[in-house]
Amino acid sequence: MYKILVKQQLAPSVQLFEVEAPLIAKKAKPGQFVILRVNDQGERIPLTIADFNREKGSVTLIFQEVGASTVELGRLQQGEFLLDLVGPLGKPTHIEKFGTVVCVGGGIGIAPVYPIARGLKEAGNEVISIIGARSEDILIYEEEMAAVSDELIITTDDGSKGIKALVTQPLKELLDSDKTISLVVAIGPVIMMKFVAETTRPYGVPTVVSLNPIMVDGTGMCGGCRVSVGQENKFACVDGPEFDAHKVDFESLMARQRMYKPHEKQHSEYIAGKREEGCKCHSH
Amino acid sequence: MSLSLNKNPMPEQEPKVRAKNFSEVSLGYTEELAKAEAARCLQCKTAPCRKGCPVQVDIPAFIKEVKEGNMDVAIAKIKEVNSLPAVCGRVCPQEEQCEKYCVLAKRGEAVGIGRLERYVADTARNKGEHITAIDYAPDAQKVAVIGSGPAGLAVAGDLAKKGYKVTIFEALHLPGGVLMYGIPEFRLPKDEVVQVEINNLRKLGVEIVVNAVIGSTFTVDELMEEEGFDAVFIGTGAGLPYFMGVPGENLNGVYSANEFLTRCNLMKAYRFPECGTPIHVGKKVAVVGGGNVAMDGARTALRLGAERSYIVYRRSEAELPARLEEIHHAKEEGIDFQFLTAPTAVIGNKDGWVTGLQCVRMELGEPDASGRRRPIEIPNSEFILEVDTVIIAIGQGPNPLVQSTTKGLETNKKGNIAAHEETGVTSKPGVFAGGDIVTGAATVILAMGAGKKAAAAIDSYLQEKKAK
């Protein structure tokens, strides 16, 4: 059982949990993830480690309530417990002094970009960060990203904060500028990562993305998370989750992510129905 | 009374009924049937059956107690050497082990040793076994067991009984390894059998730490240098699924058997949406492979509602590696066997979903290195099997996580840990290994046998260490 030390609402339907997990905190490195289970009926869901505190023995998880399991997770309160939490899983981000790096985070993807940007900054890189969201109210981690970046560019789809653009627009401007960009790291929705890859490809700038395929065990025993990278099958949970963006087959990844769409809807309806039943019982 | 040449049949669910549910196929002996079957045992002084048992259960002795109705004594006899009899009685290939050597097998059918072991264990469990916790010495040495599958459980059980403090580290959220995620509920009930037997180990004093991935959460070196373990046993199994390497394998609807079975068995996807893990099963399912895992996949697919469930196997029926009993059950339930058939591609539609499995017909040529006749493709025999789900069950290899993070641990060219067959001794002092991580994918009882041998070797290693 893993205690929720801090619960914080970051944006509508975006939550932060700081969870007591000393063994994971001791080992966690930027780019790694955990798998958790809310309760005994729960599925195993992967979440990237947004931060870790080795002294306190805690890890920070940030998630968006997008389906039944994340909604259930979001209903847990500070002081309550997660049933299962395993990690750190996956390979850590390769961090060294590259020169000038651009860290791109989209939506909830800003959270996992944060420890990477921090790591790159600590390694002596000039860090330019671009963070984007649909609108200002769901933009997270602005201050944290500012603190670890030499320059922070904000974009929103509706122009409510920063530049009214997609993250790829300022990225392209940077690539066109006099600056030599040595590396781009992008985390966000698959479609965003795909367009970041397409933006940097003509410039030949190495680009790393963190993939989020469907996972079950997260330890390499099932291959549910397999992705095609440079025509080769890789398991994102053990070979990744980070890969060379210019080699990833994003179309296949997106198709595979849609595999359980009808099930997800059915599960949400079932859980909602259960909750309603529960409420009825209380009113009697 | 003349001796029956045939085993007393074990009651089973009707094939048509059971093909639609996840309850256990075999219902087990009643007391009368168990006593009648026990009476068939000739009580041979030489007990040839014992040499077929990888853990050498005293078979005639426990059967004698069954015949006389002393079930408490019978279970104690078995448990002297086997901590998981309810599991072994169900999933061991007895026809190749104990029962193969039964003298009755020369004239008729062997004594149903597996069925009797199962009966004894089930009876003890249903009565609620009393387990006495071990009273550890203050200076008891500590052993870490990595992996809670059959090998690790056998090591843990044996060493605990010898007074060592054993901690099992398991990567998943429940212990049991393949007993939990691989073998289906309808062959081996999870909550009622597997977890109860594992809980008995806990009551004995074995600590089980779940959600601990060795190589990540701890390394083997950390366990020995920082966590104070005097010896380590690695029983991480063969959990890395092989894919075929044909086009279309990443289409939606293509599973490794490991994923399909893990979703169903460990995550209870057959109870979706009550349980949150989904599983996709179409109307027509092809399972590629001919081992027990393939049979489990095909039979699970039927139970999840598939109208047609094919086994696609590149050799003929005679070469099927699965247990005869499993093949028989699969046939009874209506599994459609496509022998001498090899897939060449998975075909999909524009949305990325499977619509068929492109195959070729094969014929058998000369025997290969494994002694089995090699399948050869028949030219121009290509055809498409219309299916919407494909499950790949062509084997598993070793997960490299522990080996790659442990200093001085040698592996062979297949990536398995190099360990002595009789002792489990590896190239690293104090580190032992056994089960599928050493041999490649094999059986539950062979893994348990390897675990028992390793436990004996660990015991002598630790005694020597203490004496120094």
ipTM of predicted complex: 0.93
Judge whether residue A117 has pLDDT over 50.
yes
Kindly give the pairing relationship between strand B142-146 and strand B165-169.
parallel
CA A207-A213-A215 angle, to 5 degrees, is: 135
- pLDDT band at A280, cuts 50/70/90? low
Chain segment B164-180, per-residue pLDDT in tens: 999 999 999 999 999 99
Residue B287 near residue B298 (C-beta atoms within 8 A): yes
Asked if A79 has any chain B CB less than 8 Å from its own CB, the reply is no
| Range B241-392: architecture per CATH | 3-Layer(bba) Sandwich (3.50)
Flag whether residue B259 sits within 8 Å of chain A, measured between CB atoms. yes
Nearest residue on chain B to A270, judged by CA atoms?
A: B273
* Angle (deg, nearest 10), helices B71-79 and B59-67: 170
Indicate the residue of A68, A221, A249 with minimum beta-carbon distance to B276.
Answer: A68
Q: Do A258 and B252 touch (CB under 8 A)?
A: yes
Q: Is the pLDDT confidence value at A281 over 80?
A: no
Closest listed residue to residue A32, CA positions, set A249, A245, A190, A219:
A219
Smallest CA–CA separation between B268 and chain A, in Å?
8
* Domain ranges across chain B: 15-127, 142-238+398-467, 241-392
pLDDT at A80: 97
Closest CA of chain B from A225, distance in Å: 10
If you average pLDDT over residues A112-116, what whole number do you get?
95
Annotated binding site of A: 62-64, 222, 225, 237
| Residue B391 in tokens | 């499950």
The reply to whether A260 touches chain B by the CB within 8 Å rule is yes
Contact A263 B272 (CB under 8 A): yes
Interface check for A71 against chain B (CB to CB < 8 A): the answer is: no
CA-based nearest residue to B411, from B423, B397, B422: B397
Ranges of beta strands (E only) in B289-377 are 308-312, 336-338, 341-348, 354-367, 373-377
Give the residue among A52, A129, A141 at the shortest CA–CA distance from A92. A52
Q: Say whether A221 and B401 touch across the interface (CB within 8 A).
A: no
What's the topology of domain A2-89?
Answer: Elongation Factor Tu (Ef-tu); domain 3 (2.40.30)
Per residue, the 3-state secondary structure of B219-249, as one string, reads: CHHHHHHCCCCCEEEECCCCCEECCCCCCCC
Mean pLDDT of A58-83: 94
* Contact check, Cβ <8 Å, A255/B216: no
Distance, in Å, from the CA atom of B434 to the CA atom of B448, rounded to the nearest integer, reads 9
In chain B, residues with a C-beta closer than 8 Å to the C-beta of A88 are 216-217
Torsion angle, CA of B214/B219/B224/B229, rounded to 10 degrees? Answer: -20
Report whether the peptide linkage leading into residue A88 is cis, meaning its omega lies within 30 degrees of zero: yes
Judged by CB atoms closer than 8 Å, whether chains meet at A42 and B276 is answered as: yes
Q: From residue B203, how far is each of B161, B196, B219, B233 by CA, in Å?
A: 12, 10, 27, 21
Domain range B142-238+398-467, CATH architecture: 3-Layer(bba) Sandwich (3.50)
Whole-angstrom distance, CA of residue B348 vs CA of residue B355: 5
Give the pLDDT score at A73.
95
Closest partner CB to A43 (pick from B240, B250, B276): B276
Instruction: Report the gap between the CA of A149 and the closest CA in chain B (Å).
Output: 30
- Does A272 touch chain B if contact means CB atoms closer than 8 Å? no
What are the CA-CA distances from residue B206 to residues A1, A83, A138, B198, B456 (Å)?
19, 21, 48, 9, 17
Give pLDDT tens digits for B307-348: 999 999 999 999 999 988 899 999 999 999 999 999 999 999
Q: Which H or E element spans position A3?
A: strand A2-11
Q: What is the pLDDT of residue B5?
A: 87
The single-letter DSSP state of residue B393 is -
Average pLDDT over residues A197-202: 98
Start-to-end C-alpha separation, chain A: 33
Q: Is the CB of residue B356 less than 8 Å away from at least one CB of chain A?
A: no
Residues of B in contact with A263 (CB under 8 A): 272-273, 278, 280
Q: What is the pLDDT of residue A284?
A: 42
pLDDT digits (tens, 9 = 90+) for B146-158: 999 999 999 999 9
Q: How confident is the model at residue B443 (pLDDT cuts 50, 70, 90)?
A: confident
Q: Which of A45, A69, A214, A216 should one mutate to test binding to chain B, selecting the residue with the greatest count of B CBs within 10 A?
A: A216
Task: Find chain B residues with C-beta within 8 A of A190's C-beta.
Answer: none
Interface contact A221-B211, CB threshold 8 A = no
Q: Are A80 and A108 in contact (CB under 8 A)?
A: no
User: What H or E segment, with its residue span, contains residue A87?
Assistant: strand A84-89
Count of CB contacts below 8 A, A vs B? 120
Q: Please give the mean pLDDT across all residues of chain A.
A: 94
What residues of A form the annotated binding site for FAD? 62-64
**Quick one: pLDDT at residue A246?**
98
Question: Tokens in use for B426?
Answer: 């590896």
Place of tokens 């940030």: A62
pLDDT digits (tens, 9 = 90+) for B176-230: 999 999 999 999 999 999 999 899 999 999 999 999 999 999 999 999 999 999 9
The CATH architecture one would assign to domain A100-258 is 3-Layer(aba) Sandwich (3.40)
Note whether B213 contacts A: Cβ–Cβ < 8 A.
yes
Same fold, B15-127 and B142-238+398-467: no
Whether pLDDT at B232 is above 70: yes
Determine how many CB atoms are found less than 10 A away from the CB of residue B336.
16
Interface test with A, best of B216, B256, B293 (most A CBs within 10 A): B216
Helices B292-303/B324-333 angle, 10° precision: 20
Cα B37–Cα B38–Cα B44 angle in degrees, nearest 5: 125
Q: Which of A42, A85, A222 is closest, CB to CB, to B259?
A: A222
Average pLDDT, chain B: 94
A97 vs B: CB within 8 A: no
Q: What is the structure's pLDDT at A210? A: 97
Q: Look at the block and give the residue holding tokens 């010495």.
A: B137
Taking 60 as the threshold, does the pLDDT of residue A283 lie above it? Answer: no
Task: State the Rg of chain A over Cα.
Answer: 19
Q: Under a CB-based contact definition with an 8 Å cutoff, are residues B172 and B181 in contact?
A: yes
Give the integer Cα–Cα distance in Å for A112 and B124: 51
Helix (H), strand (E), coil (C) string for B132-197:
CCCCCCCCCCEEEEECCCHHHHHHHHHHHHCCCEEEEECCCCCCCCHHHHCCCCCCCCHHHHHHHH
Question: What pLDDT score was predicted for residue B55?
Answer: 86
Render pLDDT for B256-309 as a digit per residue (tens, 0 to 9). Answer: 999 999 999 999 999 999 999 999 999 999 999 999 999 999 999 999 999 999
Q: Which of A190, A174, A181 is nearest to A241 (CA)?
A: A190
| Nearest by CB: B280 against A86, A238, A259 | A259
Domain boundaries, chain A: 2-89, 100-258
Taking Cα atoms as reference points, which of B195, B202, B154 lies closest to residue B174?
Answer: B195
| The pLDDT of residue B3 is above 80 | no
pTM of the predicted model as reported, rounded to 2 decimal places: 0.94
Chain A residues whose CB is inside 8 A of the B217 CB are 23-24, 27, 86-88
- Asked if the Cβ–Cβ distance from B213 to A260 is below 8 Å, we say no
Model confidence over B380-418: pLDDT tens digits?
Answer: 999 999 999 999 999 999 988 899 899 999 999 899 999
Query: From the DSSP assignment, how many helices (H) and strands (E) are in chain A?
Result: 9, 16
CA distance A2 to chain B (A): 11
Nearest CA in chain A to B216: A88
Q: What is the DSSP letter of B265?
A: I
Q: B15-127 falls under which CATH superfamily?
A: Alpha-helical ferredoxin (1.10.1060.10)
